[in-house]
């Protein structure tokens, strides 16, 4: 007679085996394109043409030389993207926190509808108004200008939504009242008391807005015209085009350069990122 408990653990182990197998398969699928990219970035073009390989070769520097020799300055795009992403991040974090704090702390008339409005905004496909945005920016003379990419961050509905979720769990009315008794101004309380306490949330929000801005192709592609202002994703398009044609090693290396910073970034901050995703959605 089989012991029912044994049967149970046997079944569990059996199931567990398939679960792990499935997870490994998905993991391989998740990682393999990235791994191939990194490996090919170190292989010479003839090596790449000879077939797949899963281990790095020794041509990293050759590829880098070829990459640099064709007139495409990826580092310029790197700098441009970094500047835009940092500026966007600062504006998003600060103004989202400011707005969310206003909603969370003050009971002004119209607050409920205003917050509901922001929630609706999160769900609107506002990118579809890019043509109007472009037309309007060109009238203002702001096309081919980073201002048109950066300043909209002041009104980030998703940022406010996230910040509100975060602040709701953070705000301690007593601290605010204590600040008021000490004679601090309202904005002073926000700056000196709330922002430091909310720093982890601000940091998480910052990571998301940085990554979103870093990867943003569509808006920059429509708004930016001159090559010295190209962002990194726009340069990837050049990399894909005629200029590099047969230089596969260099192309892979160029692509690797665009993603490695994010991978490193992720390795350092994955905890914040993952908890941030959960926080942005789980409520209700």
DSSP structure class, residue 225: -
> Which 204-243 positions form the footprint of another protein (CB under 8 A)?
211, 214-215, 217-218, 222, 225-229, 232-234, 236-243
The span of 138-146, 164-172, 195-203 binding another protein (CB under 8 A) equals 138-146
Q: Contact between 86 and another protein (CB under 8 A)?
A: no
Residues that bind another protein (rule: CB under 8 A) add up to a total of: 131
Separation of alpha carbons 214 and 230, rounded Å: 12
Separation of alpha carbons 118 and 199, rounded Å: 22
Closest separation between CB of residue 13 and another protein, Å?
10
Q: Quick one: which of 35, 134, 175, 195 contacts another protein (CB under 8 A)?
A: 134
Closest separation between CB of residue 42 and another protein, Å?
14
Q: Contact between 259 and another protein (CB under 8 A)?
A: yes
Q: Quick one: which of 10, 21, 26, 61 contacts another protein (CB under 8 A)?
A: 26
The CA-atom distances, in angstroms, between 48 and each of 32, 57, 140, 210, 272 are: 16, 10, 48, 33, 37
Separation of alpha carbons 228 and 12, rounded Å: 59
Q: Quick one: which of 6, 132, 169, 196 contacts another protein (CB under 8 A)?
A: 132
The CA-atom distances, in angstroms, between 204 and each of 17, 199, 210, 278 are: 36, 9, 10, 11
Distance from the Cα of residue 104 to its chain's centroid: 26
Q: Contact between 164 and another protein (CB under 8 A)?
A: no
Map 83-138 to HEC letters: HHHHHHHHHHHHHHHHHHHHHHHCCCCCHHHHHHHHHHHHHCCHHHHHHHHHHHHH
Among 148, 174, 156, which Cα is nearest to 98's? Answer: 156
> Which 60-79 positions form the footprint of another protein (CB under 8 A)?
68-73, 75-76, 78-79
Q: Contact between 262 and another protein (CB under 8 A)?
A: yes
Whether 24 and 43 have beta carbons less than 8 Å apart is answered as no
Q: Contact between 203 and another protein (CB under 8 A)?
A: no
Q: Contact between 58 and another protein (CB under 8 A)?
A: no
The span of 45-53, 164-172, 196-204 binding another protein (CB under 8 A) equals 45-53
Closest separation between CB of residue 187 and another protein, Å?
4
φ/ψ (deg, to 5) at 244? -100, -10
Closest separation between CB of residue 2 and another protein, Å?
19
What tokens were used for 174?
Answer: 């007593």
Closest separation between CB of residue 134 and another protein, Å?
7
């Amino acid at each position: 007679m089989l012991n029912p408990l044994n049967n149970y653990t046997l079944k569990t182990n059996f199931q567990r085996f398939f679960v792990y197998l499935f997870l490994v398969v998905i993991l391989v699928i998740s990682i393999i394109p990235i791994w191939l990219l990194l490996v090919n970035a170190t292989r010479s073009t003839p090596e790449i043409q000879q077939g797949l390989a899963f281990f790095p070769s020794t041509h990293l520097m050759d590829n880098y030389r070829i990459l640099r020799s064709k007139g495409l300055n990826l580092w310029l795009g790197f700098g441009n993207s970094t500047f835009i992403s940092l500026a966007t991040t600062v504006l998003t974090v600060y103004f989202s926190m400011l707005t969310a704090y206003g909603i969370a702390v003050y009971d002004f008339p119209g607050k409920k509808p205003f917050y509901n409005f922001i929630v609706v905004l999160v769900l609107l496909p506002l990118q579809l108004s890019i043509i109007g945005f472009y037309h309007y920016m060109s009238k203002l003379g702001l096309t081919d200008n980073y201002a048109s990419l950066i300043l909209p961050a002041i009104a980030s509905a998703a940022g406010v939504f996230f910040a509100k979720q975060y602040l709701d769990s953070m705000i301690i009315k007593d601290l605010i009242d204590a600040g008021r008794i000490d004679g601090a101004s309202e904005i002073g309380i926000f700056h000196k008391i709330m922002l430091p306490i909310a720093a982890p949330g601000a940091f998480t929000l910052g990571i998301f807005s940085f990554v979103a801005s870093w990867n943003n192709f569509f808006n920059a592609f429509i708004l930016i015209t001159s090559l010295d202002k190209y962002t990194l994703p726009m340069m990837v398009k050049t990399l894909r085009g005629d200029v590099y044609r047969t230089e596969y090693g260099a192309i892979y290396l160029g692509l690797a350069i665009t993603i490695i910073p994010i991978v490193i970034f992720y390795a350092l901050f994955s905890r914040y990122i993952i908890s941030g995703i959960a926080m942005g959605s789980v409520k209700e």
